[in-house]
Amino acid sequence: MPTITCQVTVEVKVSEEGANVNEILHAVEEARKQFGVRLAQTVIGWMQETIRGRLCGAPKVSGGWGRHALKSNPGRRCSGRRFVKEGFRGESRHLKTDIGEIEFPVGYVRCERCGRKFAPILEVLEMRPRQGHALELERLVAEATNKTSFARSVEEVEGLAGVPSSKSSHQRWAAGVKLPEVEVPALEQLMADGTKYKKAGGERGELRLAIGITGENRIVGLGTWSGKTWSEIGRELKRRLRGVPRAPVALVDGEAGLDKHVASLAGATQRSQWHFMRDFRVLLWHDGLKKAQTDPLRHRLEGIVGVEIPAGEWEAVAPITRDRLKASVAKARQEFQGMIDEFDRMGYRHGKEYLEGARDRIFTRIDLWLETGIIAPKSTGVIEEIMREVGRRVKKLGWNWGDHGVAQQAAMILLRRYSQTQWHDFWTRRLNLRNRCQITLGDFHQMN
């Protein structure tokens, strides 16, 4: 690997009365920004002259640098490998980056065979025509917009990088990132949920997402959607989970579409007990019952569904304890059916239908533990927490969303929070970082 050695002179002025640590660190930070920009410009300038010198100094260059299209036919590549130096572009090229704005002259060479003039440094730098910013700046913007509003992200990025940008650029860059699909391992649980948000034009939209949980309690983002039905989402999830062992259980909050099209992808369904008890009162209200009448029924139902799984490792639980748990569940099922029959006699139609709909799914977590030792949670608290974080970004820190923009922000939250390695690897690939440039600081010596 060719090496360039740069000699840098740093002048430090300190008042005779000294300087506190904050002043020193502030001055070092300002010098770091200047140093980074000037060093980047120096490396690009040295690399450009090296490339132009090699292309134009040898009788014939084989392979590597200098690939170009025919001047007379841009659709075909020229086979010419002899070049002569041309001049420089009239204005320097400016590039906004995460370390500041850099500028460098653009030198041309001309092919002796076809006469095409081009700038080989732009190809080596992997820069697109009229590109005004580095992709690393897009990463900085994506992470900033994922934490705060687009307007505030402009201030944050300018403070970090020292380059101005616009709100519209941040919106465009964040929406334009093509996020990777996270590899799905074997899952023990599936969960999905949705939240309302304000769309452009004042309409109400719904953002939906799905996650999986592994046996090690690691959360895996399975997808985010807006403007799609649970039926469409179910088909996409089926594709995503193809080749993955079927999850033993899915936790649902009672939404019909979610239950039918998403929960069906798992081996069994567990009704969220928190949502189940919350909605129970509402259904009894529809049957004409007042709070004083519903409270005793709620407490009774809580006692029925509140069967607990024994503490300790599944293998270590004594057979007699398991037998007692089976008996408790059997009794709870009988009492549950007893409430259904009672509601039928009393004419509580809504309450009866509600209990019937949950009857086969309210004790799934107990059955699953008895059979496999897998402990499924009672409620969808994990995904509720994720939805609160997503809701903070799409409701409190932004509005007037489009379907793609809101789903993109939710997907980035899942990826950055629960798949940090994949997020890092994604940007490593996108920036094409292959360790082809290494910079090492030498020893520091005080000159006076």
Domain locations along the chain? 23-131, 136-177, 189-419
Helix H or strand E segment including 336: helix 319-346
Burial of 277 (0-12, 13-18, 19+ CB in 10 A): middle
Confidence at residue 61, expressed as pLDDT on a 0 to 100 scale: 62
pLDDT value of position 393? 85
Instruction: Give the pLDDT of residue 384.
Output: 84
* Beta-strand runs (E) in 77-154: 83-88, 93-97, 100-104, 107-111, 117-118
pTM for the model stands at 0.81
Separation of alpha carbons 350 and 97, rounded Å: 61
Cα 239 to Cα 222: distance, rounded to the nearest angstrom: 11
Full pLDDT tens readout for the chain, 448 residues: 677 788 888 889 999 899 999 999 999 988 988 899 999 999 999 999 999 998 998 666 666 788 899 999 998 999 888 899 999 999 999 999 999 999 999 999 999 999 999 999 999 999 988 899 999 999 999 999 998 889 899 999 999 898 999 999 999 999 999 999 888 999 999 999 888 888 877 788 899 999 999 988 899 999 999 999 999 999 999 999 999 999 998 888 878 788 888 888 999 888 888 888 888 989 999 999 999 999 999 999 999 998 888 876 676 677 888 888 899 999 999 999 999 999 999 999 999 999 998 898 889 888 888 888 887 777 777 888 888 888 888 887 777 788 999 999 999 999 999 999 999 999 999 999 999 898 888 877 776 6
Count Cβ neighbours within 10 Å for each residue of 405-440 and write b for 16 or more, e otherwise. Answer: bbbbbbbbbbbbebbeebbeebbeeeeeeeeeeeee
Contacts of 59 (CB under 8 A, 6+ apart): 82
Helix (H, G, I), strand (E, B) or coil at 102: strand
Q: What is the pLDDT of residue 166?
A: 93
In 10 A of CB 293, how many CB atoms? 12
pLDDT of residue 245: 92
pLDDT of residue 383: 83
